[in-house]
Structure 1
Amino acid sequence: MVYVCDACGWEYDEEKGSPENGIAPGTKFEDLPDDFECPLCGVSKEMFSEQ
C-alpha cells in the first residue's frame, strides 16, 4: 500500500519503507508512530491519503 502526503505529495510505500528516515521496509503505515511527520513538509499522519 502507498500513502501520499496531501500537503506536498511525498509518498510512503509500505513495501519499501523509508530507510533514510529510519523506517524499515515492510512497516505498515498504521504501525508508524503516532507522532510521525512527513519528512518533507512536517504534517501529521492524518494528512496522508491511501493510494
Structure 2
Amino acid sequence: MNERIFEGSFRAVQADDRLECGICWWVYDPAEGDDVRAIPGGTPFAELPDDWCCPGCDAPKHKFMVIAA
C-alpha cells in the first residue's frame, strides 16, 4: 500500500522523492525526469520550472503528493 504525504504536511519533499499526480496518478521520478517536457533525469521535483505540469493530464505541481518509499 502506498502512503501519501499531502501538501502542507510535516515533511518537506526530498530530492529523491517520487511524487504522484492526484488527478491521473502519473508518477514523477526524479531519477528518470520527464521526456515529454524535456526535463533530464536527476532533476528533483523542487527544481522543476514553475510552469511545469503533469504530462499525463496537465495538472499543476501543487496537485502532486509524495509517494512514501
Higher helix share: 1
| Runs of 4+ with >6 A deviation | none
Aligned to 1:19, what secondary structure does the other structure show?
coil
1:2 equivalenced with 2:18 (yes/no)? yes
The two structures have a TM-score, normalised by structure 1, of 0.90
Aligned to 1:19: 35
Go from structure 1 to structure 2 and tell me whether the alpha carbon gap of 1:39 and 1:12 turns closer, same or farther (over 3 Å shift): same
- Structure 2, gaps ≥5 residues long: 1-16
Give the number of the structure whose alpha-carbon radius of gyration is greater. Answer: 2
Matched, 1:34 2:50: yes
Q: Which runs of 5+ in 1 are unaligned?
A: none
Asked whether the equivalents of residues 34 and 41 of structure 2 are also in contact (C-alpha less than 8 Å), the reply is yes
| CA RMSD after TM alignment | 0.9
> How many residue pairs are counted as aligned between the two chains?
51
Compute the TM-score of the two structures, normalised by the length of structure 2: 0.69
The alignment-based identity, stated in percent, is: 37
